[in-house]
């Protein structure tokens, strides 16, 4: 019986095979998951209906299951037609989740096109496609060491 919040069998299977430096992408509903992924990455689609399941819910579940030592978010290029003034509201939610779990990790933005390139590495093992509707919600987690 699992003691963490994450109970999805396929996600648990992939995470059990992953190791230090493996990366997990929690993708929003607009992310091109079928084309912007690592060569060995699996996709698990949790996009049932707009907004269900969302990135924050998946983020909390993943943090309950694996150690994370680095967090990247898709950064906003100033010239992007979807650019916002300041940080996206979803980043505030992510920071609250981290604070609630007493994790001293920062969200490190990677510009959009570099973010795609980073995701497409050999270390990328899993994309969890959500139905998140908030902009700039893509978050890339690097698995840490089990201590």
| 124 within some domain | yes
Total count of domains within the chain: 1
Give domain status of residue 71, yes or no.
yes
Supply the DSSP string of 78-139, one letter for each residue. Answer: TT-TT--SSS-HHHHHHHHHHHHTT----EEEEEHHHHHHHHTSTTEEEEEE----STT--E
Query: Does residue 145 belong to any structural domain of this protein?
Result: no
Position 82 confidence tier, pLDDT thresholds 50, 70, 90: confident
pLDDT at 2: 77
* CATH for 121: 3.40.1650.10
- The answer to whether the pTM exceeds 0.85 is yes
Q: Is residue 144 part of a domain?
A: no
- For residue 51, the enclosing domain spans 10-138
Q: What is the rounded CA–CA span in Å between residue 111 and residue 57?
A: 24
Q: Classify residue 5: in a domain, yes or no.
A: no
Position 147 in a domain: no
Report pLDDT digits (tens) over 8-35: 999 999 999 999 999 999 999 999 999 9
Burial of residue 141 (CB within 10 Å: 0-12, 13-18, 19+) is buried
Kindly report the average pLDDT of the chain as a whole number.
Answer: 95
| pLDDT bucket at 1, cuts 50 / 70 / 90 | low
């Amino acid at each position: 019986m699992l003691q963490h919040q994450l109970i999805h069998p396929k996600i648990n299977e992939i995470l059990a095979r992953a190791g230090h430096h493996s990366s997990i992408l929690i993708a929003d509903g607009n992310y091109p998951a079928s084309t912007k992924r690592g060569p060995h990455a699996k996709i698990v689609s949790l996009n049932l209906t707009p907004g269900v399941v969302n990135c924050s819910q998946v983020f909390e579940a993943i943090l309950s299951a694996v150690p994370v030592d680095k967090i990247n978010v898709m950064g906003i290029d100033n010239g992007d037609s979807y650019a916002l003034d300041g940080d996206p509201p979803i980043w505030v939610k992510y920071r609250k989740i981290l604070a609630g779990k007493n994790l001293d990790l920062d969200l490190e933005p990677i510009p959009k096109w570099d973010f795609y390139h980073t995701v497409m590495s050999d270390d990328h093992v899993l994309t969890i496609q959500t139905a998140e509707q908030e902009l700039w919600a893509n978050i890339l987690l690097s698995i840490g060491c089990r201590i």
